[in-house]
Amino acid sequence: MKRVVWPLVLALVLAACGDAPSPARLRDIGALLPPLTFTLHDGEARTRRAADFAGQVVVLYFGYTHCPDICPTTLARLAGLVRRLGAAAARVSILFVSVDPARDTPAVLHAYAEAFGPRVVALSGSQEQLGALARRYRVSYGLGPADGDGQYEVSHSSAVFIFDPRGRARLLATAEDSDADLLAGIQGLLAAGGNERWDGAR
Protein backbone atom coordinates (compact mmCIF):
# COMPACT_ATOMS: atom_id res chain seq x y z
CA MET A 1 0.00 0.00 0.00
CA LYS A 2 2.92 2.29 0.74
CA ARG A 3 3.93 1.91 -2.87
CA VAL A 4 0.67 3.52 -3.89
CA VAL A 5 0.49 6.19 -1.24
CA TRP A 6 3.94 7.73 -1.41
CA PRO A 7 4.00 8.59 -5.11
CA LEU A 8 0.57 10.11 -4.50
CA VAL A 9 1.85 12.24 -1.63
CA LEU A 10 4.85 13.24 -3.71
CA ALA A 11 2.63 14.20 -6.62
CA LEU A 12 0.52 16.36 -4.32
CA VAL A 13 3.61 18.04 -2.92
CA LEU A 14 4.93 18.76 -6.39
CA ALA A 15 1.55 20.04 -7.48
CA ALA A 16 1.50 22.37 -4.49
CA CYS A 17 4.97 23.75 -5.17
CA GLY A 18 5.34 23.62 -8.90
CA ASP A 19 3.07 26.32 -10.21
CA ALA A 20 3.76 28.46 -13.30
CA PRO A 21 7.44 29.37 -13.69
CA SER A 22 8.34 32.46 -11.71
CA PRO A 23 10.07 35.35 -13.46
CA ALA A 24 12.53 35.66 -10.60
CA ARG A 25 13.67 34.03 -7.45
CA LEU A 26 11.03 35.75 -5.37
CA ARG A 27 8.27 33.50 -4.12
CA ASP A 28 5.62 32.89 -6.74
CA ILE A 29 2.17 33.49 -5.26
CA GLY A 30 0.28 33.32 -8.55
CA ALA A 31 -1.86 30.39 -7.45
CA LEU A 32 -2.30 31.52 -3.87
CA LEU A 33 -3.79 35.00 -3.64
CA PRO A 34 -6.69 36.69 -5.44
CA PRO A 35 -6.35 39.65 -7.87
CA LEU A 36 -5.93 43.17 -6.57
CA THR A 37 -9.12 44.66 -5.16
CA PHE A 38 -9.52 47.54 -2.72
CA THR A 39 -11.23 50.85 -2.02
CA LEU A 40 -9.10 53.26 0.01
CA HIS A 41 -8.28 56.97 0.05
CA ASP A 42 -5.01 58.73 -0.77
CA GLY A 43 -3.15 61.77 0.55
CA GLU A 44 -5.62 64.10 -1.18
CA ALA A 45 -8.52 62.25 0.49
CA ARG A 46 -9.59 61.01 -2.94
CA THR A 47 -11.08 57.54 -3.20
CA ARG A 48 -8.66 55.18 -4.92
CA ARG A 49 -9.57 51.79 -6.28
CA ALA A 50 -7.41 48.92 -7.47
CA ALA A 51 -8.55 49.48 -11.07
CA ASP A 52 -6.93 52.94 -10.98
CA PHE A 53 -3.64 51.07 -11.19
CA ALA A 54 -4.54 48.84 -14.13
CA GLY A 55 -1.61 48.51 -16.54
CA GLN A 56 0.91 49.10 -13.76
CA VAL A 57 3.00 46.74 -11.73
CA VAL A 58 1.75 47.31 -8.19
CA VAL A 59 4.01 46.83 -5.19
CA LEU A 60 1.81 46.59 -2.10
CA TYR A 61 3.13 47.08 1.41
CA PHE A 62 1.33 47.50 4.74
CA GLY A 63 2.64 49.78 7.48
CA TYR A 64 2.08 53.06 9.34
CA THR A 65 3.87 56.39 9.18
CA HIS A 66 4.94 56.42 12.85
CA CYS A 67 6.75 53.14 12.19
CA PRO A 68 10.27 53.63 13.56
CA ASP A 69 12.35 51.52 11.21
CA ILE A 70 10.94 48.78 9.01
CA CYS A 71 8.42 50.83 7.03
CA PRO A 72 10.70 53.74 6.03
CA THR A 73 13.62 51.45 5.19
CA THR A 74 11.42 49.13 3.13
CA LEU A 75 9.80 52.03 1.29
CA ALA A 76 13.11 53.76 0.67
CA ARG A 77 14.54 50.53 -0.68
CA LEU A 78 11.57 49.87 -2.95
CA ALA A 79 11.53 53.46 -4.21
CA GLY A 80 15.28 53.32 -4.90
CA LEU A 81 14.92 50.08 -6.83
CA VAL A 82 12.06 51.40 -8.94
CA ARG A 83 14.07 54.52 -9.74
CA ARG A 84 16.72 52.26 -11.24
CA LEU A 85 14.17 51.09 -13.81
CA GLY A 86 14.51 54.43 -15.64
CA ALA A 87 11.63 55.22 -17.96
CA ALA A 88 9.84 52.00 -17.02
CA ALA A 89 9.47 53.30 -13.46
CA ALA A 90 6.40 55.19 -14.66
CA ARG A 91 4.67 51.82 -15.00
CA VAL A 92 5.28 50.83 -11.39
CA SER A 93 3.31 52.05 -8.36
CA ILE A 94 4.37 51.41 -4.81
CA LEU A 95 1.24 51.40 -2.66
CA PHE A 96 1.90 52.00 1.01
CA VAL A 97 -1.25 51.12 2.96
CA SER A 98 -1.34 52.61 6.45
CA VAL A 99 -3.23 50.42 8.90
CA ASP A 100 -3.24 53.29 11.42
CA PRO A 101 -5.88 55.68 9.98
CA ALA A 102 -6.40 57.40 13.35
CA ARG A 103 -2.98 59.08 13.19
CA ASP A 104 -2.36 58.83 9.45
CA THR A 105 -4.74 61.48 8.17
CA PRO A 106 -4.66 62.29 4.44
CA ALA A 107 -2.30 65.22 5.12
CA VAL A 108 0.14 62.98 6.99
CA LEU A 109 -0.07 60.37 4.24
CA HIS A 110 0.58 63.00 1.59
CA ALA A 111 3.73 64.33 3.27
CA TYR A 112 4.98 60.82 3.98
CA ALA A 113 4.56 59.58 0.42
CA GLU A 114 6.21 62.68 -0.98
CA ALA A 115 9.38 61.95 0.99
CA PHE A 116 9.85 58.75 -0.98
CA GLY A 117 9.35 60.15 -4.44
CA PRO A 118 6.72 60.11 -7.14
CA ARG A 119 6.19 56.34 -7.42
CA VAL A 120 4.96 55.94 -3.84
CA VAL A 121 1.24 56.36 -3.16
CA ALA A 122 0.24 56.34 0.51
CA LEU A 123 -3.26 55.04 1.15
CA SER A 124 -5.48 54.34 4.09
CA GLY A 125 -9.14 53.72 4.75
CA SER A 126 -11.83 52.91 7.25
CA GLN A 127 -11.38 49.93 9.54
CA GLU A 128 -13.76 47.98 7.31
CA GLN A 129 -11.85 48.85 4.14
CA LEU A 130 -8.49 48.02 5.72
CA GLY A 131 -9.85 44.87 7.30
CA ALA A 132 -11.20 43.66 3.96
CA LEU A 133 -7.86 44.24 2.25
CA ALA A 134 -5.87 42.61 5.06
CA ARG A 135 -8.19 39.61 5.08
CA ARG A 136 -7.93 39.30 1.32
CA TYR A 137 -4.14 39.11 1.44
CA ARG A 138 -4.16 37.23 4.74
CA VAL A 139 -2.07 39.73 6.61
CA SER A 140 -2.59 40.73 10.21
CA TYR A 141 -2.04 43.98 12.06
CA GLY A 142 -2.68 45.15 15.59
CA LEU A 143 -2.32 48.27 17.68
CA GLY A 144 -0.08 48.05 20.73
CA PRO A 145 -0.88 49.75 24.07
CA ALA A 146 -0.59 53.55 24.10
CA ASP A 147 2.19 55.22 26.11
CA GLY A 148 1.86 58.45 28.16
CA ASP A 149 1.70 60.62 25.05
CA GLY A 150 -0.96 58.50 23.41
CA GLN A 151 1.59 57.01 21.04
CA TYR A 152 1.53 53.31 20.29
CA GLU A 153 3.26 50.73 18.18
CA VAL A 154 1.52 48.88 15.40
CA SER A 155 2.38 45.31 14.52
CA HIS A 156 1.97 44.58 10.84
CA SER A 157 3.00 42.15 8.15
CA SER A 158 6.42 42.57 6.57
CA ALA A 159 5.38 41.15 3.22
CA VAL A 160 5.74 42.99 -0.06
CA PHE A 161 3.12 41.77 -2.52
CA ILE A 162 3.76 42.39 -6.20
CA PHE A 163 0.94 42.40 -8.75
CA ASP A 164 1.30 42.30 -12.52
CA PRO A 165 -0.29 44.95 -14.79
CA ARG A 166 -3.43 42.80 -15.00
CA GLY A 167 -3.84 42.98 -11.24
CA ARG A 168 -2.94 39.37 -10.61
CA ALA A 169 -0.97 38.57 -7.45
CA ARG A 170 2.38 37.25 -8.67
CA LEU A 171 5.31 37.64 -6.29
CA LEU A 172 5.98 37.88 -2.60
CA ALA A 173 9.14 39.59 -1.35
CA THR A 174 10.49 39.87 2.17
CA ALA A 175 13.36 41.78 3.73
CA GLU A 176 15.65 38.82 3.05
CA ASP A 177 15.28 39.00 -0.73
CA SER A 178 18.13 40.70 -2.56
CA ASP A 179 17.83 43.92 -4.56
CA ALA A 180 18.76 42.00 -7.70
CA ASP A 181 15.93 39.51 -7.20
CA LEU A 182 13.40 42.24 -6.50
CA LEU A 183 14.44 44.21 -9.54
CA ALA A 184 14.43 41.14 -11.76
CA GLY A 185 10.98 40.24 -10.44
CA ILE A 186 9.50 43.64 -11.25
CA GLN A 187 11.21 43.77 -14.64
CA GLY A 188 9.92 40.32 -15.47
CA LEU A 189 6.35 41.41 -14.78
CA LEU A 190 6.80 44.59 -16.82
CA ALA A 191 8.21 42.68 -19.77
CA ALA A 192 5.49 40.05 -19.95
CA GLY A 193 3.03 40.81 -22.72
CA GLY A 194 -0.73 40.46 -22.85
CA ASN A 195 -1.34 43.02 -20.15
CA GLU A 196 -4.34 44.80 -21.65
CA ARG A 197 -6.81 42.92 -19.51
CA TRP A 198 -7.61 43.69 -15.91
CA ASP A 199 -8.41 40.84 -13.54
CA GLY A 200 -9.04 42.79 -10.35
CA ALA A 201 -12.21 44.53 -9.26
CA ARG A 202 -13.38 47.59 -11.18
Partner 1 sequence: MQPDSAWAYLLPWEFYPAVVLFCGGLAWLYIRGWRRCRHSARPAGYAALVSFLTGLGLVYLVMHTYLDYLAQHMFWIHRVQHLVLHHLGPFLMLLAGPWEVLRAGLPVSARARWLPALARNRPLRLLYRGVQYPLVAPLLFVGLIYFWLLPEVHFGAMLSATRYQLMNWSMLLDGLLFWWLIFDSRPASAVGRLGYGGRIVILSLVVPPQILIGAHMALATESLYPVYNVCGRAWPISPLTDQQIGGLVTWIPSSMMSVLAMLVLLRRWMREREGAPLRQGSVS
Tell the smallest beta-carbon distance from residue 13 to partner 1 (Å): 6
Nearer to partner 1, 89 or 173 (CB): 173
Q: How far is the CB of 61 from partner 1 (least distance, A)?
A: 12
DSSP secondary structure, 52-114, as one string: GGTTSEEEEEEE-TT-SSHHHHHHHHHHHHHHTTGGGGGGEEEEEEES-TTT--HHHHHHHHH
For partner 1, the closer of residues 129 and 195 by Cβ is 129
| Partner residues linked to 161 by β-bridges | 60, 172
89 or 99: CB nearest partner 1: 99
Sheet containing 27-28, strands listed edge to edge, beginning at the edge strand earlier in sequence: 27-28, 169-173, 160-163, 57-63, 92-98, 120-123
Encoded amino acid at 118, one letter:
P
Could you give the CA distance from residue 172 to residue 190 in angstroms, rounded to a whole number?
16
DSSP-assigned beta bridge partners for residue 156: 141
H or E element in which residue 189 lies: helix 179-191
Q: What's the closest the beta carbon of residue 160 comes to partner 1, in angstroms?
A: 9
Min. distance of Cβ 92 from partner 1 in angstroms? 21
User: Distance between alpha carbon 1 and the CA centroid of its chain, in Å?
Assistant: 45
CB of 37 or CB of 85, closer to partner 1 = 37
Residue number, 69 or 196, with CB nearest to partner 1: 69
Tell me how far, at minimum, the Cβ of 104 lies from partner 1, in Å. Answer: 17
Residues in contact with partner 1 by the rule CB under 8 A: 1-2, 5, 9, 12-13, 16-17, 27, 29, 31-34, 131, 134-135, 138-142, 144, 155-159, 172, 174
Measured from the CB atom, is 6 or 191 closer to partner 1? 6
Q: Determine the Cα–Cα distance for residues 90 and 88; give it in Å rounded to an integer.
A: 5
Q: How far is the CB of 5 from partner 1 (least distance, A)?
A: 6
